[in-house]
Amino acid sequence: MEEPLEMPPGEESKPCSVSEELVTDPSLQVEISDAVSERDKVKFTVQTKSSLPHFTRPALSVVRQHEDFVWLHDTFSENDEYAGIIIPPAPPRPDFEASREKLQRLGEGNSTLTRDEFAKMKQELEGEYLAIFKKTVAMHEVFLQRLAAHPVLRRDHNFYVFLEYDQDLSVRGKNRKELLGGFFRNIVKSADEVLITGVSGLKEVDEFFEHERTFLLEYHARVRDTCLKADRAMRSHKSLAEDYIPISVALGSLGTQEVCQLQTSFLKLAELFERLRKLEGRVASDEDLKLSDLFKYYMRDSQAAKDLLYRRLRALADYENANKSLDRARMRNKEVKPAEAHQQLCCQRFEQLSVSAKQELTDFKSRRISAFRKNLIELAELELKHAKASSLLLRNTLIVLKGDA
């Protein structure tokens, strides 16, 4: 798979496992119309249609890489103006190494496989590679569309630059030092949250946020656990589909060698296992798209919601500390005005964060419920469809075999 891979023209190229019922504004529409996969990167063609005065043209097209998306996400996360907003999770890094390694091992083990086995295994792995590629495109597009649909984030200057600047943004990937710094920042944030809620004894003043915090802690843990189980179930279906290949090839080989009455039966059974392999592969693909990807996305999105609650809790702690500092200043009758100004600033920030966070968490709940309902219904319908097809295939094969007996 060294050749660049492009999205097939005319084919539905964007899986919709994490697509959300976003309230889109026709004044700003964003999509990824094309993508090309090279060995170490994926280039996305981002197209924008807008009637907003911020853009110089109504239709824009730029080429972006994954690092550009990460940069855009970081600019939102690090901007204090957006502290009261759930920042859409950054799309995961494209990872085709597993599929490439499987194809490489397949080529190395070519001598131990029959020609039919090799062709079918190669077809299976190429299909897996293409599915990962399409999901990568979809994840990046959902990130942009959530930004474009948000009434505040869509007006960000860096977002305009990302959509309009037609040259390379020259964003490099994070080096080891920066990655390590991000890891330590997460540790410090977790420790700070424990200190605020535990050691300092700060209590939540709003019942709504206390409920949301308790819920999100349990929800995030359960989604993470369910995601691992869904992945295991999907891999089991995929392994079963691969196991059907040597069985089908062996039966087909027997069917071409036998000259007795069993010849037709062997060929029919070979055809049965080949069609069962394709059905099982579709089941694995559907579960990966409608279930595993859904859980992975909302595991990241629920973490973004938890981060929002932490920022609000940090603002509450700052407000409480400002109140204590003001009391001490009044007792000493020194620097009262600066303390009052700081206390008012902390109060204003905390109240603004609370208003924004309440709306964001309410929207997150409705968005989450809508996405899970949509995907679970679609998955159930697909599972029923595949089960009926499998049952019909087995029934028809038995009828044919009885007729040949």
CB 309 within 8 A of CB 208: no
pLDDT of residue 172: 60
pLDDT of residue 12: 45
For the segment 286-297, the average pLDDT, to the nearest whole number, is 91
Q: Which of 123-132, 186-195, 299-308, 327-336 has the highest mean pLDDT?
A: 299-308
For residue 155, pLDDT over 60 is answered with yes
User: Which of the residue ranges 2-16, 20-34, 138-152, 310-324 would you say has the lowest mean pLDDT?
Assistant: 2-16
For residue 180, pLDDT over 60 is answered with no
Task: Give the list of residues 6+ apart from residue 94 with CB closer than 8 angstroms, or none.
Answer: 37, 41, 42, 66, 132, 133, 136
For residue 344, pLDDT over 90 is answered with yes
For the segment 231-239, the average pLDDT, to the nearest whole number, is 92
Higher-confidence residue of 142 and 23: namely 142
Question: Average pLDDT of the chain?
Answer: 84
For residue 1, pLDDT over 70 is answered with no
pLDDT of residue 189: 63
Q: How far is CA 121 from CA 126, 160, 341, in A?
A: 9, 45, 69
Confidence label for 11 from pLDDT (cuts 50, 70 and 90): very low
For residue 227, pLDDT over 90 is answered with yes
User: Which of the residue ranges 75-89, 90-104, 172-186 would you say has the lowest mean pLDDT?
Assistant: 172-186
For the segment 362-380, the average pLDDT, to the nearest whole number, is 94
Higher-confidence residue of 87 and 170: namely 87
For the segment 67-94, the average pLDDT, to the nearest whole number, is 93
Confidence label for 81 from pLDDT (cuts 50, 70 and 90): very high
For the segment 20-35, the average pLDDT, to the nearest whole number, is 78
pLDDT of residue 37: 77
For the segment 33-53, the average pLDDT, to the nearest whole number, is 86
Tell me the pTM: 0.81
For residue 182, pLDDT over 60 is answered with no
For residue 153, pLDDT over 90 is answered with yes
Q: Percent of the chain scored above 70 by pLDDT?
A: 80
For the segment 287-295, the average pLDDT, to the nearest whole number, is 91
Q: pLDDT tens across 114-143, in order?
A: 777 777 777 777 777 777 888 888 899 999
Are β-strands 5-6 and 42-50 bridged in parallel, bridged antiparallel, or unpaired?
A: unpaired
Confidence label for 44 from pLDDT (cuts 50, 70 and 90): very high
Using CB atoms within 10 Å of the CB of residue 116, give its burial: 0 to 12 exposed, 13 to 18 middle, 19+ buried: middle
For the segment 48-55, the average pLDDT, to the nearest whole number, is 88
- Residue whose entry in the numeric block shows the structure tokens 């891979």: 5
pLDDT of residue 246: 87
Q: How far is CA 150 from CA 22, 139, 144, 324, in A?
A: 9, 17, 10, 37
pLDDT of residue 35: 84
User: Which of the residue ranges 202-206, 232-236, 307-311, 356-360 would you say has the lowest mean pLDDT?
Assistant: 202-206
For residue 297, pLDDT over 80 is answered with yes
pLDDT of residue 306: 94
CB 45 within 8 A of CB 273: no
Q: pLDDT tens across 252-283, in order?
A: 888 887 566 678 888 889 899 989 988 998 89
